[in-house]
Chains A and B, each alone.
Chain A
Amino acid sequence: MELILNIASWILMTLGGVFIFVGGLGALRMPDLYTRMHAAGITDSIAPILIIPGIMLQAGLTLASVKLLAILVFLLLTGPTASNALASAALLAGNRSEQVKPTAVSESEE
């Protein structure tokens, strides 16, 4: 039983680590803001879904597990919301400042 739990949590956490790394790489390497947001979204949603249950399997039925569950719920609530708000703000500002297709956001900062 112990072994199965350990293997399961190994798999979950390693997968989570892989997704986190892929997302981070994408956030750095993608060509424009919206694709970068897509990559960052991976690290905000699927990575906690994998990693936190992985830790929970190790913690067992304790208060720590309840706290971890709360962390997961709050992360899943706030992460996509922040992405949504950010994307809509960028879209609003980008469309207003330049007559460009919504996919190509203005890159100038100053």
Chain B
Amino acid sequence: MTIIFGFFLLTLLLITAVAIVQSQNLFVSVMLSGMFSLLLAVNFFLLDAADVALTEAAVGAGISTVLLLSALAITAKHEKAPSSSREGALIIVIIATLVLIYATFDNPQFADPNAPVHQHVAPWYLDKTAEAIDIPNVVTAVLGSFRGYDTLGEVFVVFTAGIGVLFLLGTQPGPFAQSNPYKLTDPKGLRHYLIPRVVGRMLIPFILLFGLYVQFHGEYGPGGGFQAGALIAAAIILFALLEGEDSALKVIPRSVLIGLIAGGALLYGVVGLFGIFLGSNFLDYSVLSSNPVKGQQMGLLIIEAGVGITVTGVLLSIFHAFAARGKF
């Protein structure tokens, strides 16, 4: 029965995607991509990916809408008429779709236990997690320990993207800012919307608390550094929307943000190096404690904290860089 719901939601997802591309108004596209993200998260949840759904929730519900809107506020709200080569592109795309659909007939059936994906490493991960790391959430175990290198790489990609945005935009108002009548965050914030302001301020501590819960409960339930970083960044962005960007910068200044970006990635790397110093491999946490299982758990806790710190720092720096660009 859940599978029928899944089909229905996937169809809604397709309709939303078509509407996003169809709409000439960029603002409408952004609103619809917010809906797209909600539907995608529900689909992930129905496909048994609770961790992924939580990530999509943390990132898609607040942060991606805010970033897209602040970019729209600086650039334009409508797109011009589409190019003349529409038919050609449509034909190419339809042919490619048909080819892809033809290829799916050879794919294993949905959720087939005999599919090649389920034969090789996954059973090993599921077996060994209890023995080697002894935490309930296999996803976190694979993320932090079994595939630690991979995650280190991803953290550095996030780090590089944050540095790239800071290099591109800096922290100074841009030349267009003088004449730009739109900007997302006012220095005064939402002062004269009393009710949203009061309720929003009430929510901020709970979002922060929930972020910390997701961060440190990630070994036991859905969660971890990536989700927690996005949630905490969302809380600070909410504060910036309510009280004005300057107040948010007083809470976490730019220098601290840069420290967070570098510090989290560095923390992750240093934990890896500790493995080498203690006579084992890079990112092998077993040697961190006399008991290998305890060492693994300790290593996971520290690297998740590093991931959370970097993600928070990067997302907040990006938000502030965009917001400063639209300043008067």
Contact = CB atoms under 8 A, between A and B. Distances in A.
A110 to B, nearest CB: 8
A14 interface: no
Interface in B185-228: 193, 195-196, 199-200, 202-203, 206
Interface size for chain A: under 10, 10 to 19, 20 to 34, or 35 or more residues? 10 to 19
Contact of A85 (B193, B202, B206): B193
A81 B199 contact: yes
Nearest to A70: B206
Secondary structure at chain A's binding surface: helix, strand, loop or mixed?
A: helix
B160 interface: no
B194 to A, nearest CB: 10
Interface centre among B199, B200, B202, B206 (most CB of A within 10 A): B199
Nearest to A88: B193
B25 A109 contact: yes
A108 to B, nearest CB: 12
A74 B196 contact: no
Interface string A51-83: 000000000000000000000001001100110
A37 B129 CA distance: 50
A85 B203 contact: no
Contacts of B202: 77
A82 B193 CA distance: 11
B42 to A, nearest CB: 15
Contacts of A81: 195-196, 199-200
16 contacts: A74-B203, A74-B206, A77-B202, A77-B203, A78-B199, A78-B203, A81-B196, A81-B199, A81-B200, A82-B196, A84-B196, A85-B193, A85-B195, A85-B196, A109-B25, A110-B25
